Amino acid sequence: MPDSKFLVGVAVGAAAVLLLGGLGTRLVSRTESTTELNQFDTMTVDGHKALKPKIVAGRTEGKYHPLPWVGVKVHVSCPTGLKAVTGTVMTCTGRRTDGSTVDIPVTVIRATDSHITWKFGR
């Protein structure tokens, strides 16, 4: 019969692996991003600074499927630049490998003259 200390050690080890795996998944699957509004990544939309659509699409695509068990692999495109105005919402499109599409809402959380913080929904 196995020693009870051994069984407790196995149980504690398994719990630690699950906890660290869950924490790692949570950290990797974040959907928020802060981006500098510099001369290379910025355009103007309706008279406001905006993050270029290729920047929003690229960052979203990279974070949408960070691990096999988080999100779905998609190719993302965005219709226009993301205005650096708090509360701005736009919808990007994710195209799956089977050709189907998914709408990806993108929302500006904070905006200053030099940075924009935004997040996307899964």
**In the block, residue with structure tokens 């709408």:** 103
Q: Are 113 and 37 in contact (CB under 8 A)?
A: yes
Q: In tens digits, what is the pLDDT along the chain, a chain of 122 residues?
A: 567 777 666 666 766 666 665 555 555 556 788 899 999 999 999 999 999 999 999 999 888 775 555 566 889 999 999 999 999 999 999 998 889 999 999 999 999 999 999 999 87
First vs last C-alpha separation in the chain:
48
Q: What is the pLDDT of residue 14?
A: 66
Q: What is the pLDDT of residue 54?
A: 96
In angstroms, the CA 104 to CA 98 distance is 17
pTM over 0.85: no
